Amino acid sequence: MLPPKHVSPEVFKTARNKSSMSLCKGCTAIADSGTSLIAGPSGIIGKFHEKLGIGQDGFVECEAELPDVNVVLENEHGVDRTFTLTKKDYILRLDAGKGTERCVSGFMRMDMEDFWIFGDVFMRKFYSVFDYGNARVGFATANSDGC
């Protein structure tokens, strides 16, 4: 795993009601394929879920209208890059049995301050290159044709 890098102060922005929400100031983050979800500080994830109308337990009605979430990361040149997650990307559908489904947020609470883990929810959508020699991680939109 590479050392965490600082990310832009406005890491997560949401377009719901044409507003944005800064969820990170001076925090660090890593990309980790061994983590299924996007993990962040408990208090921040709680506020984020509340703003989106997701229950504090992370569950949400599958039919709920949810906005795209723009993840803004600062690159090595100090330039912000935006990576957009749609509802389909960050809401996970779970088989609840008997032909029913439950939906849960792909953002989970973690009891660490100012630290984020970008797991499979993020990495499934964005191709990730781990450049160990230069202690950096690169992201690009992954090919969506299922190859």
pLDDT along the chain (147 residues), means of 10: 46 58 76 93 90 92 91 80 91 92 95 89 91 85 65
Entry pTM: 0.81
Sign of dihedral through CA atoms 124, 125, 131, 132?
negative
Rounded Cα gap, residues 119 and 9, in angstroms: 20
- pLDDT reported for residue 3: 41
Name, in order, each residue with C-beta under 8 angstroms of 85's C-beta and a sequence gap of 6 or more: 68, 69, 70, 71, 106, 121, 122, 125
